[in-house]
Structure 1
Amino acid sequence: MRRPFTRSLTGALALTAAVAVLPLAASGPAAADGVVIGGQTVKVTDSPWAVAVASRDRFGGMRAGQFCGGVVVAPTKVVTAAHCLGRDVLGVPLDEVRDLKVVAGRGELRGTGGREIAVRRTWVNPSYEPLSNSGDLAVLTLSAALPEEYVIRLAPADGGLTDPGTAATVYGWGDTTGGGAYASSLRSAKVRVLSDEACTRAYPGNVDGTYLPATMLCAGDPEGGHDACQGDSGGPLVARGRLIGLVSWGSGCGQAESPGVYTRISALARALEGQL
């Protein structure tokens, strides 16, 4: 089986650091209106837990080096997707990235507000399986603490926040069209959590990927047009003020029959406990 399309940027072209990088994949048309996929610009002050994971050394300075999203879950802890820290994305082994940072409190990546904080330590979920993207979770430990009000609470396993039909919002700085038009301002899009049955029908184990409900959930728009896309990986999926998922993978962007797949936070709560 081919590996599903992750939603990070690739560092393969980052050796020419002043040039914007290309998406890993943008297969098929995307119904989009120019914000995330089918969303809107949001104020970072309203969602301070949404942060950019960045490296100018690998991805250039045009958008502060952003290549993935992240979420503040403790003053010195940010969760992101495990695949964001892999060589396929970074272009080099993680230990060769000299300036891995988190950009917090800055909605406009080309601006100067907020803070850029170096990552002191990384942890990748030992159960992460790169081929399927099961358990797609990593934790970044920051070299300085963020304010407590930046922290978002995790969704409990029994809170009903991942029930089918639940309204949720995905955030990121990624591709806004499915064709490589990357946002410089933080965006959000409204989606709904879909049933495991619907997600399995979309990704039954063919070339588009395999949906594994034990560690994944999916969300989208039955009509298409609202979704995360390349560059959004590791960013938050939020329902009723709680973090329920991290952008992980999908087939294309904004397509009705190919919803976005997210790391299911409640399924990995135990693994996270030892890192927070």
Structure 2
Amino acid sequence: MRRPLVRALSRPLILAAVAMVIPLASAAPAASDGVVLGGYPVDVSQSPWTVALSSRDRFGGMRSGQFCGGVAVGPTTVLTAAHCMGEEALGGPPERVSDLKVVAGRTDLYSDVGQEVSVRSVWVNPRYDRSSNAGDFAVLTLAEPLPAEAAIRMAGAGDGAYQPGGEALVYGWGDTTGFGAYAHTLRAAPVHVLADSLCERAYPGSSEGAYLAQSMVCAGEARGGRDACQGDSGGPLVAQGRLIGLVSWGSGCGRPGSPGVYTRVSDALRTLGWDVAARGAHRAPGGP
């Protein structure tokens, strides 16, 4: 998934700066039916909180400059992956990316439907650990508000949405094959929340990262085939109508035995000191 080149490759799951991804040096992924990986097309009205991060100067204009995903959790607040805001993705600190925007309400990245809103400020979790991929989240504050109904509710600690075996959906515009075939319309892939013990066995600790249950949640299918992939980083994992994860990392895309790993939203809430009930009132630490 995705070592920052967005999904973190091992994988962070990002697009490379030349509008291509870093190639996956791996065996072929499980077959997909042409979406997120093993998913299907959806209209953004079904998930209005799913947004694209854009910089046309760095990633080109063909797909609205999309390089990562994000999630609206308030009218001017978007969560994404910390590695999406790293120098490896952006070529420098985010404050130097003058055209960094959030694209909302746009199903097809080839269109001009919806809003393109400038990012006023970026707060990256200072505890983000690139070696383990723990704490992989950042908060974007927008210059203009999105519609209030676009924000999704977040799942706090103890929420039943994290229960292993539960059904979830991951959304994005990323690679649909594992080999650089990027979608231009929004996709969703159905996955299952997996037990921490399974993910600890899959990722016990290596150069790719380590699964840490306190700050991560993983999802996928035992036989592979449905997963997030490059270009999906920072996008939402949703269960029972609530945000439980942000696309973060993993090994390859859709491989059996290598599920997708997501930033656990309850851990981000704890770090930020946000009240899960205070929907729409969230601010980055030190933000306006």
Shift of 1:275: 2.4
1:217-256 maps to which residues of 2 (within 5 A)?
A: 217-256=217-256
**Paired residue secondary structure (1:275):** coil
Deviations 1:208-262 (A, max 9, x none): 4311111011100111100000000000000011000000001000011100000
Q: Which amino acid aligns with 1:7?
A: L
Structure-2 residue corresponding to 1:141: 141
Unaligned runs of 5+ in 1: 14-19
What letter matches 2:13 in structure 1?
R
Pair 1:9 & 2:8 matched: no
- Deviating above 6 A after TM superposition, structure 1's stretches of 4 or more consecutive aligned residues are none
Structure 1 SS opposite 2:162: coil
Aligned to 1:27: 26
Q: Which moved more, 1:263-272 or 1:246-255?
A: 263-272
- In the superposition, relative to structure 1, how do residues 175 and 185 fare at CA in structure 2: closer, same or farther (>3 Å)? same
Contact 1:8–1:24 (Cα < 8 Å) also in 2: no
Evaluate the alpha carbon distance shift between residue 26 and residue 236 of structure 1 in structure 2; reply closer, same or farther with a 3 A threshold.
Answer: farther
The separation in 1 between residues aligned to 2:50 and 2:38, in whole angstroms, is 18
Q: Does 1:37 align with 2:37?
A: yes
Distance (Å, rounded) in 1 between the aligned partners of 2:102 and 2:27: 31
Aligned to 1:16: none
Number of equivalent positions: 268
Deviations 1:144-180 (A, max 9, x none): 0011110100012112211110110000000000000
Number of the residue aligned with 2:179: 179
Contact 2:95 2:122 in 1 (8 A): no
- Letter paired with 1:275: R
Establish whether residue 115 from structure 1 lines up as the match of residue 101 from structure 2. Answer: no
User: What's the Cα RMSD here?
Assistant: 1.5
Question: Contact 1:37–1:225 at 8 Å: present in 2 too?
Answer: yes
Aligned residue for 2:269, secondary structure, equals: helix
- Distance (whole Å) between structure 2 residues aligned to residue 127 and residue 257 of structure 1: 28
Q: Does 131-140 or 230-239 show the bigger shift? A: 131-140
Aligned partners of 1:220 and 1:256 also within 8 Å: no
Amino acid at match of 1:194: L
| Deviation of the 1:92 alpha carbon | 2.5
Q: Which residue of 2 aligns with 1:54?
A: 54
TM-score computed with the length of structure 2 as normaliser: 0.90
The SS at the match of 1:153 is coil
Equivalent residues in 2 for 1:56-205 (5 A)? Answer: 56-205=56-205
**Amino acid of the structure 2 residue aligned with 1:28:** A
Q: Which moved more, 1:21-30 or 1:215-224?
A: 21-30
What secondary structure does 2:205 align onto? strand
| Cα shift at 1:34 | 1.1
Q: Deviations 1:122-147 (Å, cap 9, x if unpaired)? A: 00112111222100010110000011
| Greater alpha carbon shift after TM alignment, 152-161 vs 27-36 | 27-36
Is residue 101–residue 117 contact of structure 2 (8 Å, CA) maintained in 1? yes
User: Which has the higher mean CA deviation after the structures are superposed, 30-39 or 46-55?
Assistant: 30-39
SS at match of 2:266: helix
One-letter amino acid matched to 1:121: S
Structure 2: distance between partners of 1:73 and 1:146: 10
Opposite residue 29 of structure 2, the aligned amino acid is A
1:26–1:54: structure 2 CA closer, same or farther, 3 Å change rule?
farther
The percent identity for this pair of structures is 59
Q: Shift of residue 26 of structure 1?
A: 5.8
For residue 29 of structure 1, report the CA deviation from its aligned partner: 1.1
2-structure distance, mates of 1:76, 1:256: 38
Distance 2:137 2:119 in 1: 16
**Which whole-Å CA distance do the structure 2 matches of 1:187 and 1:201 have between them?**
29
